[in-house]
Chain A
Amino acid sequence: MSKRDPILMPDNTVILAKDLTKMYGDFTAVDHISFEIKKGEIFGFLGANGAGKTTAMRMLCGLSKSTSGQAWVAGYDINRQSEYIKRRIGYMSQKFALYEDLEVWENIRMYAGIYGVPDREIAPRTDELLHRLGFESEKKTLVKSLPLGWKQKLSFSVAIFHNPSIVFLDEPTGGVDPATRRQFWELIYQAADRGITVFVTTHYMDEAEYCDRVSIMVDGRIDALDSPGNLKKAFNAKNMDEVFHQLARGARRKA
Protein backbone atom coordinates (compact mmCIF):
# COMPACT_ATOMS: atom_id res chain seq x y z
CA MET A 1 0.00 0.00 0.00
CA SER A 2 1.39 3.40 -0.90
CA LYS A 3 1.62 6.07 1.73
CA ARG A 4 -1.25 8.07 0.22
CA ASP A 5 -3.80 5.36 -0.32
CA PRO A 6 -6.70 5.16 2.06
CA ILE A 7 -7.51 1.73 3.43
CA LEU A 8 -10.79 0.19 2.48
CA MET A 9 -13.06 0.36 5.48
CA PRO A 10 -16.15 -1.81 5.92
CA ASP A 11 -19.47 -0.51 4.64
CA ASN A 12 -19.65 3.23 5.22
CA THR A 13 -17.40 3.27 8.27
CA VAL A 14 -15.69 6.66 8.52
CA ILE A 15 -13.96 6.33 11.86
CA LEU A 16 -12.53 3.09 13.17
CA ALA A 17 -10.59 2.97 16.44
CA LYS A 18 -9.00 -0.20 17.81
CA ASP A 19 -7.54 -0.17 21.32
CA LEU A 20 -6.47 3.41 20.82
CA THR A 21 -4.21 4.41 23.72
CA LYS A 22 -2.24 7.48 24.71
CA MET A 23 0.22 7.57 27.58
CA TYR A 24 1.98 10.58 29.05
CA GLY A 25 4.77 8.99 31.09
CA ASP A 26 3.01 6.68 33.54
CA PHE A 27 -0.32 8.35 33.03
CA THR A 28 -2.78 6.65 30.67
CA ALA A 29 -4.83 9.53 29.28
CA VAL A 30 -6.70 7.33 26.79
CA ASP A 31 -6.99 3.68 27.68
CA HIS A 32 -7.68 1.19 24.85
CA ILE A 33 -10.75 2.74 23.31
CA SER A 34 -12.45 1.03 20.38
CA PHE A 35 -15.40 2.13 18.29
CA GLU A 36 -16.72 2.43 14.78
CA ILE A 37 -18.65 5.39 13.40
CA LYS A 38 -20.76 5.30 10.22
CA LYS A 39 -21.21 7.88 7.49
CA GLY A 40 -23.79 10.53 8.38
CA GLU A 41 -23.95 9.50 12.00
CA ILE A 42 -24.16 12.08 14.81
CA PHE A 43 -21.84 10.69 17.45
CA GLY A 44 -21.82 12.27 20.92
CA PHE A 45 -18.49 11.97 22.71
CA LEU A 46 -19.18 12.58 26.40
CA GLY A 47 -17.15 12.43 29.57
CA ALA A 48 -16.22 14.42 32.64
CA ASN A 49 -13.44 17.03 32.50
CA GLY A 50 -10.17 15.15 32.47
CA ALA A 51 -11.69 11.87 31.25
CA GLY A 52 -9.54 11.95 28.10
CA LYS A 53 -11.93 13.35 25.46
CA THR A 54 -9.64 16.07 24.18
CA THR A 55 -6.63 13.73 23.99
CA ALA A 56 -8.67 11.18 22.02
CA MET A 57 -10.04 13.83 19.71
CA ARG A 58 -6.57 15.24 19.01
CA MET A 59 -5.42 11.79 17.91
CA LEU A 60 -8.43 11.35 15.63
CA CYS A 61 -7.76 14.75 14.05
CA GLY A 62 -4.19 13.70 13.25
CA LEU A 63 -2.69 16.19 15.71
CA SER A 64 -1.04 13.66 17.98
CA LYS A 65 0.12 10.06 17.63
CA SER A 66 -1.15 7.12 19.62
CA THR A 67 1.14 5.29 22.05
CA SER A 68 -0.47 2.02 21.02
CA GLY A 69 -3.55 0.89 19.18
CA GLN A 70 -4.73 2.17 15.84
CA ALA A 71 -7.36 4.33 14.25
CA TRP A 72 -8.45 5.22 10.75
CA VAL A 73 -10.29 8.38 9.91
CA ALA A 74 -11.84 8.77 6.45
CA GLY A 75 -9.75 5.76 5.45
CA TYR A 76 -6.41 7.15 6.60
CA ASP A 77 -4.16 5.90 9.37
CA ILE A 78 -3.90 8.53 12.15
CA ASN A 79 -0.25 7.74 12.82
CA ARG A 80 1.11 7.48 9.30
CA GLN A 81 -1.22 9.56 7.13
CA SER A 82 -2.23 12.44 9.39
CA GLU A 83 -1.77 15.08 6.68
CA TYR A 84 -4.45 13.39 4.55
CA ILE A 85 -6.80 13.25 7.51
CA LYS A 86 -6.52 16.99 8.05
CA ARG A 87 -7.79 17.59 4.50
CA ARG A 88 -10.78 15.32 4.93
CA ILE A 89 -12.08 16.69 8.23
CA GLY A 90 -13.55 19.91 9.56
CA TYR A 91 -12.99 21.17 13.09
CA MET A 92 -14.76 23.69 15.24
CA SER A 93 -14.52 24.60 18.89
CA GLN A 94 -15.70 27.48 20.95
CA LYS A 95 -12.13 28.72 21.23
CA PHE A 96 -11.13 28.20 17.64
CA ALA A 97 -13.01 31.18 16.34
CA LEU A 98 -13.02 33.05 13.08
CA TYR A 99 -10.76 35.98 12.30
CA GLU A 100 -12.45 38.88 14.05
CA ASP A 101 -10.87 41.56 11.87
CA LEU A 102 -11.93 39.97 8.61
CA GLU A 103 -15.37 40.36 7.09
CA VAL A 104 -17.77 37.44 6.93
CA TRP A 105 -17.07 36.67 3.25
CA GLU A 106 -13.30 37.07 3.77
CA ASN A 107 -13.32 34.43 6.49
CA ILE A 108 -15.14 32.01 4.19
CA ARG A 109 -12.81 32.88 1.30
CA MET A 110 -9.75 32.24 3.44
CA TYR A 111 -10.78 28.89 4.88
CA ALA A 112 -12.09 27.70 1.53
CA GLY A 113 -8.72 28.59 0.00
CA ILE A 114 -6.76 26.78 2.70
CA TYR A 115 -8.84 23.65 2.24
CA GLY A 116 -8.38 23.76 -1.51
CA VAL A 117 -11.91 24.53 -2.67
CA PRO A 118 -11.51 25.51 -6.36
CA ASP A 119 -11.47 29.32 -6.80
CA ARG A 120 -14.38 29.51 -9.20
CA GLU A 121 -16.61 27.62 -6.80
CA ILE A 122 -15.93 29.79 -3.78
CA ALA A 123 -17.93 32.90 -4.68
CA PRO A 124 -21.18 31.19 -5.74
CA ARG A 125 -21.03 28.78 -2.81
CA THR A 126 -20.41 31.67 -0.41
CA ASP A 127 -23.56 33.39 -1.66
CA GLU A 128 -25.52 30.18 -1.46
CA LEU A 129 -24.35 29.58 2.12
CA LEU A 130 -25.14 33.11 3.27
CA HIS A 131 -28.58 32.80 1.69
CA ARG A 132 -29.26 29.53 3.47
CA LEU A 133 -28.25 31.05 6.82
CA GLY A 134 -30.19 34.25 6.19
CA PHE A 135 -26.90 36.15 6.48
CA GLU A 136 -26.85 37.93 3.09
CA SER A 137 -27.00 41.36 4.68
CA GLU A 138 -23.95 40.56 6.82
CA LYS A 139 -21.64 39.52 3.98
CA LYS A 140 -19.41 42.55 4.46
CA THR A 141 -19.72 42.79 8.24
CA LEU A 142 -16.62 42.40 10.37
CA VAL A 143 -16.88 39.16 12.29
CA LYS A 144 -16.12 40.89 15.60
CA SER A 145 -19.36 42.84 15.41
CA LEU A 146 -21.54 39.73 15.00
CA PRO A 147 -23.45 38.35 17.99
CA LEU A 148 -21.96 35.17 19.48
CA GLY A 149 -24.74 32.91 18.17
CA TRP A 150 -24.13 34.09 14.59
CA LYS A 151 -20.40 33.61 14.95
CA GLN A 152 -20.97 30.02 16.02
CA LYS A 153 -23.30 29.26 13.13
CA LEU A 154 -20.85 30.84 10.71
CA SER A 155 -17.93 29.04 12.31
CA PHE A 156 -19.70 25.70 11.84
CA SER A 157 -20.60 26.48 8.24
CA VAL A 158 -16.99 27.42 7.51
CA ALA A 159 -15.81 24.15 9.10
CA ILE A 160 -17.90 22.13 6.63
CA PHE A 161 -17.49 24.42 3.61
CA HIS A 162 -15.03 22.02 1.96
CA ASN A 163 -17.50 19.12 2.38
CA PRO A 164 -15.36 17.07 4.76
CA SER A 165 -16.24 13.46 5.51
CA ILE A 166 -16.31 14.27 9.22
CA VAL A 167 -16.66 17.37 11.30
CA PHE A 168 -15.30 17.44 14.86
CA LEU A 169 -17.17 19.80 17.18
CA ASP A 170 -15.63 20.52 20.57
CA GLU A 171 -18.30 21.99 22.86
CA PRO A 172 -19.70 24.06 20.04
CA THR A 173 -22.69 25.55 21.85
CA GLY A 174 -21.19 26.85 25.09
CA GLY A 175 -22.56 30.15 26.27
CA VAL A 176 -25.23 30.79 23.63
CA ASP A 177 -28.87 31.41 24.43
CA PRO A 178 -31.24 28.43 24.36
CA ALA A 179 -32.99 29.33 21.12
CA THR A 180 -29.69 29.77 19.25
CA ARG A 181 -28.38 26.54 20.72
CA ARG A 182 -31.34 24.73 19.11
CA GLN A 183 -30.89 26.47 15.75
CA PHE A 184 -27.29 25.31 15.88
CA TRP A 185 -28.40 21.71 16.31
CA GLU A 186 -30.67 22.06 13.31
CA LEU A 187 -27.57 22.95 11.28
CA ILE A 188 -25.92 19.79 12.62
CA TYR A 189 -28.92 17.70 11.52
CA GLN A 190 -28.76 19.23 8.03
CA ALA A 191 -25.05 18.44 7.75
CA ALA A 192 -25.66 14.85 8.83
CA ASP A 193 -28.51 14.55 6.30
CA ARG A 194 -25.98 15.56 3.62
CA GLY A 195 -23.82 12.63 4.70
CA ILE A 196 -21.29 14.47 6.86
CA THR A 197 -20.43 12.51 9.98
CA VAL A 198 -20.64 14.61 13.13
CA PHE A 199 -18.39 13.91 16.11
CA VAL A 200 -19.43 16.21 18.95
CA THR A 201 -18.55 16.83 22.60
CA THR A 202 -20.92 18.69 24.89
CA HIS A 203 -21.69 19.33 28.53
CA TYR A 204 -25.39 19.83 27.81
CA MET A 205 -27.05 16.50 28.46
CA ASP A 206 -30.17 17.38 26.48
CA GLU A 207 -27.88 17.63 23.46
CA ALA A 208 -26.71 14.09 24.06
CA GLU A 209 -30.30 13.06 23.30
CA TYR A 210 -29.99 14.52 19.78
CA CYS A 211 -27.14 12.16 18.91
CA ASP A 212 -27.64 8.86 17.08
CA ARG A 213 -25.15 7.22 19.42
CA VAL A 214 -23.28 8.38 22.47
CA SER A 215 -20.09 7.19 24.13
CA ILE A 216 -19.23 8.07 27.71
CA MET A 217 -15.59 8.20 28.76
CA VAL A 218 -14.57 7.55 32.36
CA ASP A 219 -10.89 7.64 33.40
CA GLY A 220 -9.69 7.23 29.82
CA ARG A 221 -11.95 4.28 28.99
CA ILE A 222 -15.20 4.17 27.07
CA ASP A 223 -17.56 2.77 29.69
CA ALA A 224 -20.75 2.98 27.67
CA LEU A 225 -21.57 3.26 23.99
CA ASP A 226 -25.04 3.01 22.50
CA SER A 227 -28.04 5.03 21.35
CA PRO A 228 -29.44 7.39 24.01
CA GLY A 229 -32.60 5.27 24.10
CA ASN A 230 -30.73 2.04 24.80
CA LEU A 231 -28.46 3.69 27.38
CA LYS A 232 -31.45 5.02 29.27
CA LYS A 233 -32.98 1.55 29.26
CA ALA A 234 -29.76 -0.15 30.32
CA PHE A 235 -29.18 2.27 33.20
CA ASN A 236 -32.83 2.47 34.08
CA ALA A 237 -32.58 6.26 33.82
CA LYS A 238 -35.18 8.79 32.78
CA ASN A 239 -32.71 10.95 30.85
CA MET A 240 -29.10 11.13 29.68
CA ASP A 241 -28.17 13.33 32.63
CA GLU A 242 -28.91 10.41 34.96
CA VAL A 243 -26.96 7.98 32.78
CA PHE A 244 -24.00 10.35 32.82
CA HIS A 245 -24.11 10.76 36.59
CA GLN A 246 -24.31 7.04 37.22
CA LEU A 247 -21.20 6.45 35.12
CA ALA A 248 -19.10 9.48 35.96
CA ARG A 249 -19.66 9.21 39.70
CA GLY A 250 -17.49 6.10 39.65
CA ALA A 251 -14.54 8.03 38.20
CA ARG A 252 -11.32 7.86 40.20
CA ARG A 253 -9.57 10.61 38.29
CA LYS A 254 -10.27 13.98 39.90
CA ALA A 255 -11.16 16.78 37.55
Chain B
Amino acid sequence: MIQMPAVKADSIFKKYKKVQALNGVSLEVGEGEIFGIIGPDGAGKSTLFRILTTLILADEGKATVNGFDVVKEYRSIRECVGYMPGRFSLYQDLTVEENLTFFATVFRTTIEENYELIKDIYVQIEPFKTRRAGALSGGMKQKLALCCALIHKPTVLFLDEPTTGVDPVSRKEFWGMLKRLKKQGIAILVSTPYMDEASLCDRIALIQNGQFLKTDTPQNIVREFGTVLWSVRSNQMSKLLIDLRNYEAVDTCFAFGDTHHITFKNVPPLEQDLNEYLQSLGHKSLFIKPIEANVEDCFMRLSGKTLQS
Protein backbone atom coordinates (compact mmCIF):
# COMPACT_ATOMS: atom_id res chain seq x y z
CA MET B 1 0.00 0.00 0.00
CA ILE B 2 1.31 3.42 -0.88
CA GLN B 3 1.32 5.72 2.08
CA MET B 4 -0.94 8.68 1.58
CA PRO B 5 0.63 12.06 2.28
CA ALA B 6 -0.91 13.96 5.18
CA VAL B 7 -1.07 17.11 3.07
CA LYS B 8 -0.78 17.41 -0.67
CA ALA B 9 -1.13 20.58 -2.70
CA ASP B 10 -0.84 20.79 -6.44
CA SER B 11 -0.29 24.12 -8.26
CA ILE B 12 -2.36 26.32 -6.01
CA PHE B 13 -3.19 29.80 -7.30
CA LYS B 14 -5.01 32.53 -5.41
CA LYS B 15 -5.54 36.16 -6.28
CA TYR B 16 -7.00 38.96 -4.13
CA LYS B 17 -8.08 41.79 -6.43
CA LYS B 18 -4.74 42.86 -7.92
CA VAL B 19 -2.44 40.81 -5.69
CA GLN B 20 -1.40 37.34 -6.77
CA ALA B 21 -1.10 35.88 -3.27
CA LEU B 22 -0.23 32.36 -4.41
CA ASN B 23 1.31 31.69 -7.75
CA GLY B 24 1.42 27.95 -8.35
CA VAL B 25 2.45 26.36 -5.08
CA SER B 26 2.85 22.58 -4.65
CA LEU B 27 3.87 20.54 -1.63
CA GLU B 28 3.60 17.19 0.10
CA VAL B 29 3.84 16.60 3.83
CA GLY B 30 4.26 13.08 5.20
CA GLU B 31 2.96 11.56 8.41
CA GLY B 32 5.01 12.69 11.41
CA GLU B 33 6.88 15.25 9.34
CA ILE B 34 7.56 18.83 10.40
CA PHE B 35 7.31 20.92 7.24
CA GLY B 36 8.28 24.58 7.53
CA ILE B 37 7.06 27.37 5.27
CA ILE B 38 9.59 30.11 5.64
CA GLY B 39 9.30 33.63 4.34
CA PRO B 40 8.47 37.24 5.15
CA ASP B 41 5.06 38.82 5.78
CA GLY B 42 2.98 39.06 2.65
CA ALA B 43 4.69 36.11 0.95
CA GLY B 44 1.47 34.06 0.91
CA LYS B 45 1.94 31.82 3.96
CA SER B 46 -1.42 32.52 5.63
CA THR B 47 -3.32 32.27 2.35
CA LEU B 48 -1.90 28.79 1.81
CA PHE B 49 -2.86 27.78 5.37
CA ARG B 50 -6.41 29.08 4.91
CA ILE B 51 -6.84 27.13 1.70
CA LEU B 52 -5.55 23.90 3.25
CA THR B 53 -7.73 24.31 6.35
CA THR B 54 -10.77 24.81 4.04
CA LEU B 55 -11.43 28.39 5.14
CA ILE B 56 -11.06 29.92 1.68
CA LEU B 57 -11.11 28.51 -1.85
CA ALA B 58 -8.18 28.48 -4.23
CA ASP B 59 -8.69 29.96 -7.72
CA GLU B 60 -6.90 27.01 -9.29
CA GLY B 61 -5.18 23.83 -8.22
CA LYS B 62 -6.03 20.80 -6.10
CA ALA B 63 -5.25 20.00 -2.50
CA THR B 64 -5.97 17.17 -0.10
CA VAL B 65 -5.51 16.73 3.63
CA ASN B 66 -5.45 13.13 4.87
CA GLY B 67 -6.64 12.22 1.40
CA PHE B 68 -9.75 14.40 1.65
CA ASP B 69 -10.34 17.03 -1.00
CA VAL B 70 -10.26 20.58 0.43
CA VAL B 71 -13.36 21.57 -1.56
CA LYS B 72 -15.62 18.52 -1.71
CA GLU B 73 -14.72 16.93 1.59
CA TYR B 74 -14.08 19.97 3.71
CA ARG B 75 -16.17 18.63 6.59
CA SER B 76 -13.98 15.57 7.03
CA ILE B 77 -10.89 17.76 7.00
CA ARG B 78 -12.23 20.02 9.74
CA GLU B 79 -12.69 16.95 11.93
CA CYS B 80 -9.10 15.83 11.68
CA VAL B 81 -6.94 18.96 11.56
CA GLY B 82 -5.83 21.36 14.26
CA TYR B 83 -5.30 24.99 13.26
CA MET B 84 -3.55 27.77 15.12
CA PRO B 85 -4.06 31.00 13.17
CA GLY B 86 -1.45 33.75 13.16
CA ARG B 87 -3.61 36.09 15.19
CA PHE B 88 -4.65 35.01 18.68
CA SER B 89 -8.21 33.89 18.11
CA LEU B 90 -9.41 32.30 21.33
CA TYR B 91 -12.21 33.79 23.37
CA GLN B 92 -10.59 36.57 25.40
CA ASP B 93 -13.46 36.72 27.90
CA LEU B 94 -13.43 33.00 28.66
CA THR B 95 -10.93 31.55 31.12
CA VAL B 96 -8.13 29.23 30.11
CA GLU B 97 -10.14 26.20 31.17
CA GLU B 98 -13.37 27.44 29.56
CA ASN B 99 -11.63 27.95 26.24
CA LEU B 100 -10.20 24.46 26.30
CA THR B 101 -13.53 22.90 27.34
CA PHE B 102 -15.28 24.85 24.60
CA PHE B 103 -13.00 23.51 21.87
CA ALA B 104 -13.22 19.98 23.25
CA THR B 105 -17.04 20.16 23.27
CA VAL B 106 -17.23 21.50 19.73
CA PHE B 107 -15.33 18.41 18.63
CA ARG B 108 -17.52 16.15 20.80
CA THR B 109 -14.74 15.19 23.17
CA THR B 110 -13.52 16.11 26.66
CA ILE B 111 -10.30 17.44 28.12
CA GLU B 112 -9.87 14.15 30.03
CA GLU B 113 -10.18 11.99 26.94
CA ASN B 114 -7.18 13.52 25.19
CA TYR B 115 -5.31 14.85 28.18
CA GLU B 116 -2.22 12.75 27.41
CA LEU B 117 -1.61 14.67 24.20
CA ILE B 118 -1.70 18.13 25.75
CA LYS B 119 -0.38 17.27 29.20
CA ASP B 120 3.20 18.50 28.69
CA ILE B 121 1.98 21.87 27.49
CA TYR B 122 -1.11 22.24 29.65
CA VAL B 123 0.67 21.75 32.98
CA GLN B 124 2.57 24.95 32.26
CA ILE B 125 -0.62 27.02 32.04
CA GLU B 126 -2.77 25.02 34.47
CA PRO B 127 -1.85 27.26 37.44
CA PHE B 128 -3.67 30.06 35.54
CA LYS B 129 -6.68 28.03 34.46
CA THR B 130 -9.16 30.46 36.02
CA ARG B 131 -7.57 33.49 34.38
CA ARG B 132 -9.31 35.05 31.39
CA ALA B 133 -7.45 34.29 28.15
CA GLY B 134 -7.26 38.00 27.34
CA ALA B 135 -5.19 38.59 30.47
CA LEU B 136 -2.50 36.00 29.66
CA SER B 137 1.02 36.93 28.59
CA GLY B 138 2.09 36.28 25.01
CA GLY B 139 3.89 33.03 25.77
CA MET B 140 0.96 31.62 27.73
CA LYS B 141 -1.56 32.60 25.05
CA GLN B 142 0.55 30.72 22.56
CA LYS B 143 0.55 27.59 24.74
CA LEU B 144 -3.20 27.77 25.29
CA ALA B 145 -3.81 28.17 21.57
CA LEU B 146 -1.71 25.10 20.90
CA CYS B 147 -3.67 23.10 23.50
CA CYS B 148 -6.96 24.17 21.92
CA ALA B 149 -5.70 23.15 18.49
CA LEU B 150 -4.73 19.73 19.85
CA ILE B 151 -7.65 18.87 22.10
CA HIS B 152 -9.53 16.80 19.50
CA LYS B 153 -6.42 14.75 18.68
CA PRO B 154 -5.85 15.96 15.13
CA THR B 155 -3.61 14.03 12.77
CA VAL B 156 -2.44 17.15 10.97
CA LEU B 157 -1.52 20.38 12.70
CA PHE B 158 -1.42 23.76 10.93
CA LEU B 159 0.52 26.40 12.84
CA ASP B 160 0.57 29.82 11.22
CA GLU B 161 3.50 31.83 12.63
CA PRO B 162 3.23 30.46 16.17
CA THR B 163 6.51 32.06 17.25
CA THR B 164 6.27 35.55 15.74
CA GLY B 165 7.17 38.22 18.30
CA VAL B 166 8.17 35.57 20.84
CA ASP B 167 11.60 35.81 22.48
CA PRO B 168 14.37 33.33 21.57
CA VAL B 169 14.07 31.29 24.77
CA SER B 170 10.30 30.76 24.50
CA ARG B 171 10.72 30.01 20.80
CA LYS B 172 13.15 27.21 21.58
CA GLU B 173 10.71 25.80 24.16
CA PHE B 174 7.88 25.88 21.62
CA TRP B 175 9.93 23.92 19.09
CA GLY B 176 10.67 21.36 21.80
CA MET B 177 6.90 20.83 22.14
CA LEU B 178 6.56 20.34 18.38
CA LYS B 179 9.30 17.69 18.41
CA ARG B 180 7.33 15.72 21.01
CA LEU B 181 4.10 15.96 18.98
CA LYS B 182 5.91 14.77 15.89
CA LYS B 183 6.90 11.61 17.77
CA GLN B 184 3.21 10.83 18.15
CA GLY B 185 2.90 10.73 14.37
CA ILE B 186 1.22 14.11 13.94
CA ALA B 187 2.13 15.87 10.69
CA ILE B 188 2.94 19.51 11.31
CA LEU B 189 2.83 22.30 8.77
CA VAL B 190 4.32 25.39 10.37
CA SER B 191 5.13 28.84 9.00
CA THR B 192 7.69 31.27 10.36
CA PRO B 193 9.53 34.43 9.39
CA TYR B 194 12.55 33.37 11.51
CA MET B 195 15.11 31.76 9.26
CA ASP B 196 16.99 30.24 12.21
CA GLU B 197 13.99 27.98 12.87
CA ALA B 198 14.46 26.31 9.49
CA SER B 199 16.99 23.83 10.83
CA LEU B 200 14.37 22.52 13.29
CA CYS B 201 12.14 21.33 10.42
CA ASP B 202 12.47 18.05 8.52
CA ARG B 203 11.84 19.84 5.25
CA ILE B 204 11.25 23.47 4.37
CA ALA B 205 9.87 25.56 1.56
CA LEU B 206 11.25 29.07 1.14
CA ILE B 207 8.41 31.32 0.01
CA GLN B 208 8.39 34.80 -1.48
CA ASN B 209 5.79 36.65 -3.57
CA GLY B 210 3.46 33.66 -3.64
CA GLN B 211 6.05 31.24 -4.96
CA PHE B 212 8.23 28.58 -3.44
CA LEU B 213 11.84 29.50 -4.17
CA LYS B 214 12.92 26.02 -3.14
CA THR B 215 11.65 22.96 -1.25
CA ASP B 216 14.05 20.51 0.37
CA THR B 217 15.65 19.49 3.65
CA PRO B 218 17.45 22.40 5.34
CA GLN B 219 20.73 20.49 4.92
CA ASN B 220 20.28 20.13 1.15
CA ILE B 221 19.23 23.74 0.73
CA VAL B 222 22.39 24.88 2.46
CA ARG B 223 24.53 22.42 0.50
CA GLU B 224 23.16 23.74 -2.80
CA PHE B 225 24.05 27.36 -2.09
CA GLY B 226 25.81 27.34 -5.44
CA THR B 227 28.89 29.40 -4.75
CA VAL B 228 31.47 29.94 -2.07
CA LEU B 229 30.41 32.17 0.80
CA TRP B 230 33.02 34.19 2.65
CA SER B 231 32.95 35.72 6.08
CA VAL B 232 34.82 39.00 6.52
CA ARG B 233 35.52 40.99 9.67
CA SER B 234 37.61 44.01 10.53
CA ASN B 235 37.90 46.63 13.24
CA GLN B 236 35.53 48.97 11.32
CA MET B 237 32.47 46.97 10.41
CA SER B 238 30.30 49.83 9.13
CA LYS B 239 33.02 51.08 6.75
CA LEU B 240 33.87 47.51 5.79
CA LEU B 241 30.36 47.02 4.39
CA ILE B 242 30.79 49.96 2.02
CA ASP B 243 34.37 49.10 1.07
CA LEU B 244 33.43 45.51 0.26
CA ARG B 245 30.53 46.62 -1.93
CA ASN B 246 32.88 48.92 -3.84
CA TYR B 247 35.28 46.07 -4.55
CA GLU B 248 34.93 45.08 -8.20
CA ALA B 249 34.83 41.30 -7.74
CA VAL B 250 32.25 41.32 -4.94
CA ASP B 251 28.79 40.20 -6.02
CA THR B 252 26.71 40.39 -2.82
CA CYS B 253 27.59 41.70 0.61
CA PHE B 254 25.33 41.56 3.67
CA ALA B 255 25.84 42.21 7.37
CA PHE B 256 25.44 39.03 9.40
CA GLY B 257 25.72 39.65 13.10
CA ASP B 258 29.36 40.29 13.92
CA THR B 259 30.60 39.48 10.41
CA HIS B 260 29.78 40.36 6.79
CA HIS B 261 28.93 37.62 4.32
CA ILE B 262 30.08 38.11 0.74
CA THR B 263 29.96 36.21 -2.52
CA PHE B 264 32.10 36.93 -5.56
CA LYS B 265 31.22 37.33 -9.22
CA ASN B 266 32.36 34.67 -11.68
CA VAL B 267 36.06 34.75 -10.92
CA PRO B 268 36.87 34.97 -7.23
CA PRO B 269 39.94 37.08 -6.48
CA LEU B 270 42.87 35.85 -4.48
CA GLU B 271 42.23 36.15 -0.80
CA GLN B 272 45.50 38.01 -0.54
CA ASP B 273 44.36 40.68 -3.05
CA LEU B 274 41.22 41.37 -1.05
CA ASN B 275 43.28 41.47 2.11
CA GLU B 276 45.67 44.05 0.62
CA TYR B 277 42.80 46.15 -0.76
CA LEU B 278 41.13 46.32 2.64
CA GLN B 279 44.39 47.01 4.45
CA SER B 280 45.12 49.89 2.07
CA LEU B 281 41.79 51.41 3.18
CA GLY B 282 42.85 51.26 6.80
CA HIS B 283 41.15 48.09 7.98
CA LYS B 284 42.89 46.26 10.79
CA SER B 285 42.39 42.88 12.52
CA LEU B 286 41.16 41.48 9.22
CA PHE B 287 39.56 38.07 9.12
CA ILE B 288 38.64 36.55 5.75
CA LYS B 289 37.48 32.96 5.56
CA PRO B 290 35.20 30.75 3.44
CA ILE B 291 32.26 29.47 5.51
CA GLU B 292 29.18 27.32 5.14
CA ALA B 293 26.03 29.20 4.15
CA ASN B 294 22.97 29.18 6.40
CA VAL B 295 19.31 29.19 5.37
CA GLU B 296 19.11 32.97 5.53
CA ASP B 297 22.03 33.27 3.06
CA CYS B 298 20.22 30.85 0.78
CA PHE B 299 16.95 32.77 1.03
CA MET B 300 18.64 36.03 0.05
CA ARG B 301 20.51 34.40 -2.82
CA LEU B 302 17.41 32.67 -4.18
CA SER B 303 15.13 35.70 -3.79
CA GLY B 304 17.76 37.95 -5.37
CA LYS B 305 17.79 35.67 -8.39
CA THR B 306 14.03 35.76 -8.86
CA LEU B 307 14.06 39.54 -8.64
CA GLN B 308 16.61 39.79 -11.41
CA SER B 309 14.98 37.27 -13.75
Contacts and interface: CB of A to CB of B under 8 A. Distances in A.
Partners in one complex: yes
B300 A50 contact: no
A182 interface: yes
B39 interface: yes
Interface in A217-255: 228-229, 239-241, 244-245, 248-249, 251, 254-255
Given A249-B169, A255-B167, A179 B303 contact: yes
A206 B164 CA distance: 16
B165 A174 contact: yes
B257 A209 contact: yes
B304 interface: yes
Contacts of A205: 168, 257
Contacts of B39: 177
B164 A254 contact: no
For chain A, give the interface size range: 35 or more
A174 B86 CA distance: 14
Q: Which residue among A180, A203, A228 has the maximum number of chain B CB atoms within 10 Å of its CB?
A: A203
B208 A177 contact: yes
Contacts of B225: none
A234 B256 CA distance: 21
B168 A254 contact: no
A206 B254 contact: no
Interface of B: 39-43, 124, 137-140, 164-172, 193-196, 208, 238, 241, 254-258, 296, 299-300, 303-304
A249 B208 CA distance: 34
A91 interface: no
Contacts of A249: 169
Contacts of A147: 42
A175 interface: yes
11 contacts: A47-B167, A48-B170, A49-B138, A49-B166, A147-B42, A175-B40, A179-B304, A203-B166, A203-B168, A248-B169, A255-B138
B40 A180 contact: yes
Given A50-B138, A50-B139, A148-B42, A177 B169 contact: no
Contacts of A180: 40
Contacts of B257: 205-206, 209-210, 239-240
Given A176-B41, A178-B195, A254-B137, A244 B258 contact: no
Nearest to B19: A145
Contacts of B138: 49-50, 255
Interface string A161-192: 00000000001001111111010011001000
A50 B138 CA distance: 8
Contacts of B196: 241
Contact of B169 (A149, A229, A245): A245
B254 A182 contact: yes
Nearest to B39: A177
Closest 8 CB pairs of A and B: A255-B139, A177-B40, A175-B41, A206-B257, A209-B257, A48-B167, A209-B258, A248-B169
A237 to B, nearest CB: 12
A206 B139 CA distance: 22
Given A189-B238, A203-B168, A255-B167, 13 more contacts: A49-B138, A147-B42, A148-B41, A171-B165, A175-B41, A175-B164, A176-B193, A179-B254, A185-B255, A206-B256, A209-B257, A210-B255, A245-B169
B254 A174 contact: no
B165 A50 contact: no
A22 to B, nearest CB: 17
Given A177-B40, A182-B255, A209-B258, A241 B195 contact: no
A151 B117 CA distance: 42
A146 to B, nearest CB: 11
Contacts of B43: 177
Given A178-B296, A179-B254, A241 B140 contact: no
A171 to B, nearest CB: 7
Contact of A48 (B42, B140, B169, B258): B169
A180 B195 CA distance: 14
A50 B137 contact: yes
